[in-house]
């Protein structure tokens, strides 16, 4: 089943047009990667899904209904979680307090169940539960950012460059977590500037350049398209 269907999407910010006629299908239970050069519009695509960009035309069908034009809090309630590129963690609060804030609105009993679930996925955060988030390492902070989005139990998780600026061992661990989340039934749409990282874990990949889709298919098909890899990703 296709969980998210983007049809003929044109979007941007006010007069700044960024995406042109974008079509994307995200199958339930899959990892779908969006790759492409700087400024291609990858973040804008996630912003468009999450109600943070202006949609000029087109449809964003999630779980059967068009969510284009809804507000972020409405989209979150429908089951989409977003881990943005910008740091959305409160440094002066503890890991626990950050998790509590991410679950605002949930009754205490449900909150406790969600915390248990999320800490089972991220046992390292359990050890750090009372630490101020500002004292965590870059990798631990990235894990916390993902944990915060999981507090609302999303069906679809949008991840924006979650491996950027991490040491190689942490890149590996974060990507392993992403694969683990898919095994738990969460559908993943991941944006990556480092294409090879996304290609290793994705079931399907879209190459975005200058706001348009230039390739859609399986990672192994893209790896055979030497001219696309060279032109858009600088891979020889």
- Give the footprint of ligand ATP on this chain (CB under 6 A): 13, 16, 18, 36, 38-44, 193
Comparison of 20 and 96: residue with beta carbon closer to ligand ATP: 20
In the bound complex, what is the minimum distance in angstroms from residue 94's beta carbon to ligand ATP? 30
In the bound complex, what is the minimum distance in angstroms from residue 4's beta carbon to ligand ATP? 18
Comparison of 38 and 130: residue with beta carbon closer to ligand ATP: 38
Comparison of 102 and 209: residue with beta carbon closer to ligand ATP: 209
Q: How far apart are CA 123 and CA 4, in angstroms?
A: 30
Comparison of 140 and 161: residue with beta carbon closer to ligand ATP: 161
Comparison of 103 and 205: residue with beta carbon closer to ligand ATP: 205
Which residues touch 130 (CB under 8 Å, ≥6 apart)? 94, 95, 96
In the bound complex, what is the minimum distance in angstroms from residue 52's beta carbon to ligand ATP? 8
Comparison of 76 and 193: residue with beta carbon closer to ligand ATP: 193
- With contact defined as beta carbons under 8 Å apart, do 50 and 82 qualify? yes
Name the token pair of 135.
């004292």
Comparison of 16 and 104: residue with beta carbon closer to ligand ATP: 16
DSSP letters along 33-46, please? EEE-STTSSHHHHH
In the bound complex, what is the minimum distance in angstroms from residue 198's beta carbon to ligand ATP? 12
- With contact defined as beta carbons under 8 Å apart, do 59 and 6 qualify? yes
In the bound complex, what is the minimum distance in angstroms from residue 98's beta carbon to ligand ATP? 24
Q: How far apart are CA 132 and CA 78, in angstroms?
A: 31
In the bound complex, what is the minimum distance in angstroms from residue 208's beta carbon to ligand ATP? 7
In the bound complex, what is the minimum distance in angstroms from residue 114's beta carbon to ligand ATP? 29
């Amino acid at each position: 089943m296709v969980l998210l269907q983007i049809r003929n999407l044109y979007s941007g910010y006010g007069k700044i047009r960024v995406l042109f006629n974008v079509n994307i299908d995200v199958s339930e239970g899959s990892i779908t990667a969006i790759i492409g050069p700087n400024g291609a519009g990858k973040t804008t695509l996630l912003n468009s899904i999450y109600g943070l960009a202006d949609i000029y035309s087109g449809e964003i069908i999630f779980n059967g209904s068009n969510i284009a034009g809804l507000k972020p809090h409405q989209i979150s309630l429908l089951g989409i979680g977003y881990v943005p590129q910008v740091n959305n963690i409160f440094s002066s609060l503890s890991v626990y307090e950050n998790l509590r804030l991410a679950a605002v609105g949930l009754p205490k009993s449900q909150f406790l169940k969600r915390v248990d679930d999320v800490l089972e996925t991220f046992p390292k955060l359990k050890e750090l539960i009372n630490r101020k988030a500002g004292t965590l390492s870059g990798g631990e902070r990235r894990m916390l950012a993902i944990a915060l989005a999981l507090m609302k139990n999303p069906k679809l998780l949008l991840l924006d460059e979650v491996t950027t600026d991490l040491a190689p061992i942490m890149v590996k661990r974060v990507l392993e977590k992403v694969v683990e989340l898919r095994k738990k039934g969460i559908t993943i749409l991941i944006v990556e500037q480092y294409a090879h990282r996304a290609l290793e874990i994705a079931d399907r990949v879209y190459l975005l350049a200058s706001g348009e889709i230039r390739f859609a298919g399986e990672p192994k098909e893209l790896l055979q398209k030497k001219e696309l890899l060279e032109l858009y990703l600088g891979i020889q």
